[in-house]
Structure formats: structure tokens, C-alpha cells
Amino acid sequence: MTNTDLLGSTTSILAAALLIGLLIGVERGWQSRDKPPGHRVAGIRTFGLIGLLGGVAGLLAQAGWGAPSGLVIAAAAVSIAVGYYRAAAPPESLSVTSAIAALLTLALGMLATSGFAVQAIAAACVVTLLLASRSQLHGWLSGLSETDIQATARFALIAAAIWPLLPNQSFGPYDAWNARSLWAVVVLVTGFSLAGYVADKKFGRTRGTLATSAIGGMYSSTAVIAALSTRLRGSPNEIAAVTAGIALASAVMFARVLVLTAILAPAALPTLALATGPAAAVALLLAIRSARQPGATAGAEAPEPSSGNPVELLPALGFALLVAATAVATRWAEQRFGGAGAGVMIVITGSFDVDAAIVTLGGLGPGTLSPHDAGLILAAPVLINTLFKGAIVIANGGPGTRWRAAAPLLASSMTLVLAAAAVLVL
């Protein structure tokens, strides 16, 4: 590298260190804009210099002058701490946010000249965004309940602490189990429950049947539709609202199936989307049509299965056990009868729980089923599940309402059959 190249490289990384300081300094200066001159410890200029000083310390360390570099960093850190402490009057009013931001600016400036300029700038952007979101974060935090905190902590434990530590290797009968894959099922189930809980908190349960049906459909569309259908006998005048809720919950179910397939069995997604996409569109269109009828958006609350603890572990573990048992049965059928046997087992499993069928399909070895066949096999339990929900509505509904309320489910089922047949033929 020539001296010119070296000078250009040094200049660019020092400029990156300065940019980091200026970026964070803009936000800190804006936050203290109402303070009179002389009462601000650090603004845009000071933060820019702090970032540049960190960059110089990084260059000193890169040149082998570790001791001078350490002295520069230590002196700057002490100066920052003393400056913010003396500015706090009384001491109880001391806020460490700006002091920590200044120290972080110093560290990021040093990082920028130590071979990690891109990462340092990205981190500075995140720091600036975090500092600028003070009001929003405090407002969000004040609205949290103890249940919210516990649910978040539980899900963090499940998804971020346990899951990455599990071994990613096959074991058990027919090598059908994988600890990390099985725990991924727990993560998905609890994640869907938490997402539904957050949506519930966001939109509330008093905004009518449509909102609660969409939210409840994330937990269990079957349970939501069963609860809605019980209203048909006692309140036949709510037929428009109930029909709209049933159609919307069904559309949410189709969407959930496609999302799960995209995550767990992506090879089957194109065929499954062609087979179930039109059915989902029909359900959504019928939901919109019913929602536009008089009384459909009334404030009556749709009966909804209680989610209880937003992140309940036992139901998720039970679902994982079901998936584990299904995986063994499917592998057995695969070895005894080939791919056709595995497909039959997936259809049977999906008749009871579509999500379990998706997880089982995702765990099959490559080449067991073609992507085309896998998509059609998954469409079968979706059809059976939709027809089962239609039977629930017909059984629970009143004489003059049952068929109208079940119409979205029956229409979706018919559309699914036609679309799947077209995919099969073409």
C-alpha cells in the first residue's frame, strides 16, 4: 500500500469516527436544545470530538501504541463522567443516558478505526434511533402490565435461551426426532399466542366481531368459529356479524397455514398456495361482503376462547409431543410403504391438526415427496378442517341461520377442491 493509499484509508476511517460522533451528537443536542448556553455538558460539537478522539485512540492502538491509546480512552472516560456528574444539580437529578451515550460514542469511534467501520456506523445509527425514541419507549413501557412482562420474559427464555442451545441432530426411533426442530414447534406455538395477545392488547376486544375474530383466529380458528356459531340460536339478528366473523377467522387460518408452510416446509408452498390461495380469497371477499351489511360492525363482542397466560408452555409442549409421535408414525409408514404411506399419515394427522401436519412434512427427508405432491397433500387436511368447521356451524346454528353462516366455509371448501383439481391436472 502506498503512502497515498494509506493516507486515504486513514482519512476515511477517521471521517467515519467523526460521523459517528456527529450523528449521536445531533440527537443529544436536540434533546438539550432548551437548556441555556453553558448548561449543556455535550452537544453536537462535543460528541463529534468524542467520536474523533475514539478514532485517534483506535489508530494509536493499531500502530502498536497501546499504552498511549489506553491513556487517551481513560482520560476521556473520566472527563465525561466528571462533566455529567458536576452538571447534575441536585445529584438526584443525574441521568446517566447522555453519559453512557458519550462513552459509547468514544468506543464506537475507536471501533471504526480498528477495522470495523461499517459495524460501528450501523451501531451508531441504532444508538441514535434508540435515544430518539425516548417518548415512544416510555409511553409503551407505561402501558405494560405484569402479565406483559412475564409473557415477554417467558418467550425470550423459550426462543433465545433454550432453542439455540439444543443439539441439531437426529435421534430416537427411525431418527425421526430432532431436538432443535421439535423445540422450534414450541417457539412457533408460543410465538403465535404472543402475537395474538399483542394484537388483542392493541385493538381491544370491544371493537366488534370482526376484530375479535381476526385476533382469535391466530389462536384457533376452530374454537373461534365454534364460539361464534353458538350466537346464531340466541341472536339470529346478528347473522351478518357472525357470518363475517366466521369468514374472516377462516381467512386468517388459511394465511396462518401458508406462513407456517413457508417457514417449515417451503418446498410445498407454491403448490399449496395455488390450491388454498383462491379459497382464502373467497373467504376474505365473503367476510367483506357480510361486514358491509347492516349490523355487522356492531360493538358486540365475539365470544372468544380465553388465551389465559399469553405464553403457556404446557399446550405448546403437548403440541410438540403430538408432532414427535406423528413424526415416528410417518417415518414408519415411509419405510414400510414408501412416500405414499408418509403422505397418508400426514393427511390423517392434518385431519386433527393442520399445523402438526405441516411440521411433520417439514421434518421428512429430502426426496420423500415431491414439492408438488407435498403441497397437494397439505391441501387435503386444510379441506377436511374447513369442512369440519362448517359442520360445527351447521350443528350449532338455528334453523334459519345455519346455512347462511356456514356458506363462507362451504364456498371456501368448494373453491379449494376446484383449485386443487386444477393444480393436479395442470
| 257-300 pLDDT tens trace | 898 889 888 888 999 999 999 999 999 999 888 888 765 555 44
Which one-letter amino acid corresponds to residue 267?
A
What pLDDT score was predicted for residue 98?
78
Facing residues of 177 across strands? Answer: 171
Residue at a domain's end among 143, 174, 193? 143
Question: Does some domain include residue 341?
Answer: yes
Domain endpoint, select from 98, 113, 143: 143
- Calpha distance 187→191 (Å, rounded): 6
Average pLDDT over residues 231-242: 70
Could you tell me what percent of the chain has a pLDDT over 70? 77
At residue 346, φ and ψ (nearest 5 deg) are -65, -40
Q: What is the CA radius of gyration of the chain?
A: 29
Contact 295, 237 (CB under 8 A): yes
* 337 and 291 within one domain: yes
User: Of 257, 254, 203, 209, whose CA–CA distance to 230 is shortest?
Assistant: 209
**Looking at the structure, do residues 15 and 162 belong to the same domain, yes or no?**
no
Pick the more confident residue, 414 or 405.
414
**pLDDT one-digit tens code per residue, 73-98:** 888 888 877 777 666 655 554 567 87
Half-sphere exposure of 420 (CA within 13 A, CB side): 20
Any alpha helices (H) in 292-401, and if so which ranges?
313-337, 339-352, 354-362, 371-396
pLDDT at 420 exceeding the cut of 80: yes
* Nearest Cα residue to 176 out of 365, 393, 45, 382: 365
Cα pseudo-dihedral 286, 292, 293, 296, rounded to 10:
90
> Is the pLDDT score of 316 beyond 80?
no
Are the C-beta atoms of 189 and 218 separated by less than 8 Å?
A: no
| 200 and 97 part of one domain | no
The pLDDT of residue 235: 61
Range with the largest mean pLDDT of 26-30, 45-49, 122-126: 122-126
Q: How many independent structural domains does the chain possess?
A: 2
208: alpha, beta or left? (left if phi > 0; alpha if psi -120 to 50):
left
**Would residue 5 count as lying in a domain?**
no
Mean pLDDT score across all residues of the chain = 78
Residues 101 and 184 in one domain: no
367-371 long-range contacts, CB within 8 A, separation 24+ = 368/334, 368/339, 368/342, 369/339, 369/342, 369/343, 371/267, 371/268, 371/270, 371/271
At residue 375, the pLDDT reads 84
286: left (phi over 0), alpha (psi -120 to 50) or beta: alpha
Task: Map grid coordinates 369468514 to a residue.
Answer: 247
- Establish if 208 belongs to a structural domain: yes
Euclidean distance between CA atoms 72 and 58, whole angstroms: 10
Q: From CA 162, how far away is CA 279, in angstroms rounded?
A: 38
pLDDT mean over 364-375? 78
pLDDT (average), residues 351-371:
73
Is residue 1 assigned to a domain? Answer: no
244 lies in a domain? yes
**Greater pLDDT, 159 or 214:** 159
Angle at which helix 339-352 crosses helix 354-362, to 10 degrees, equals 150
> Are residues 139 and 150 both part of a single domain?
no
List b or e across 156-193, with b for residues whose CB sees 16 or more CB atoms inside 10 angstroms. eebbeeeeeeeeeeeeeeeebbbbebbbbbbbbbbbbb
User: Is there a domain that residue 213 lies in?
Assistant: yes
Query: Are 98 and 156 members of one domain?
Result: no
Write the CA distances from 32 to 41, 44, 83, 289, integer angstroms.
Answer: 9, 10, 15, 53
Cell numbers 494509536 correspond to what residue?
60
Report how far residue 202's alpha carbon sits from residue 210's, in angstroms, rounded to the nearest whole number.
Answer: 14
Mean pLDDT calculated for residue range 92-112 = 81
pLDDT digits (tens, 9 = 90+) for 180-217: 878 887 887 677 667 656 765 665 544 556 776 777 67
CB-based contact 269:375 (threshold 8 Å): yes
Residue 271 located in a structural domain: yes
Q: Do 175 and 93 fall within a single domain?
A: no
Q: How many CB atoms lie within 10 A of CB 147?
A: 13
In this structure, are residues 242 and 228 in contact, taking their beta carbons and an 8 Å threshold? yes
Rounded alpha-carbon distances, angstroms, from residue 377 to 34, 266, 281, 352, 400 = 65, 14, 20, 14, 36
DSSP bridge partners of 178: 170
Q: Give residue 113's domain range.
A: 10-143
Q: Where are the alpha helices (DSSP H) in 90-230?
A: 96-112, 117-132, 134-142, 146-156, 179-203, 209-229
Is the whole model's pTM more than 0.75, yes or no?
no
pLDDT > 80? residue 345: no
- The verdict on 335 and 302 lying in the same domain is yes
225 and 373 fall within a common domain = yes
Tell whether 199 and 346 lie within a shared domain. yes
d(CA 97, CA 24): 12
Mean local confidence (pLDDT), 34-44: 66
Q: Let me know if residue 4 belongs to a domain.
A: no
Q: 66 with 109, same domain?
A: yes
Q: Any idea which residue has 339470529 for its cell? A: 236
Q: How many residues are listed for the chain in this entry?
A: 426
Higher pLDDT, 321 or 1: 321
Least confident of 66-75, 225-234, 386-395: 225-234
Are 23 and 169 contained in the same domain?
A: no
Domain boundary among 115, 143, 171: 143
Q: Using the predicted structure, report yes or no on whether residue 11 has a pLDDT greater than 80.
A: yes
3-class secondary structure per residue, 38-88: CCCCCCHHHHHHHHHHHHHHHHHHHCCCHHHHHHHHHHHHHHHHHHHHHHC
| 8-state DSSP, 161 | I
